[in-house]
Amino acid sequence: MNLNIIKNYNDLAVNTYHVNPKVFIFLMILSVPFYYWGWLAIGTEIVRFKKRYYVEKKGKISDIFFEKKFSRALVINRIAWAAPYIYVILFGSNIPLWFWFLFFGWIIFGSYLFSLRLKKMIVK
Alpha carbons 99 and 90: distance in angstroms, whole number: 14
Alpha carbons 63 and 14: distance in angstroms, whole number: 44
User: What confidence category does residue 49 fall into, taking pLDDT thresholds of 50, 70 and 90?
Assistant: confident
pLDDT at 2: 63
pLDDT at 20: 94
Q: What is the mean pLDDT of the chain?
A: 88
Burial class of 39 by CB neighbour count within 10 A (0 to 12, 13 to 18, 19+): middle
pLDDT tens per residue, range 80-117: 999 999 999 999 988 889 999 999 999 998 898 888 88
Alpha carbons 77 and 55: distance in angstroms, whole number: 28
Alpha carbons 55 and 67: distance in angstroms, whole number: 17
pLDDT at 60: 73
pTM for the predicted model, two decimal places: 0.79
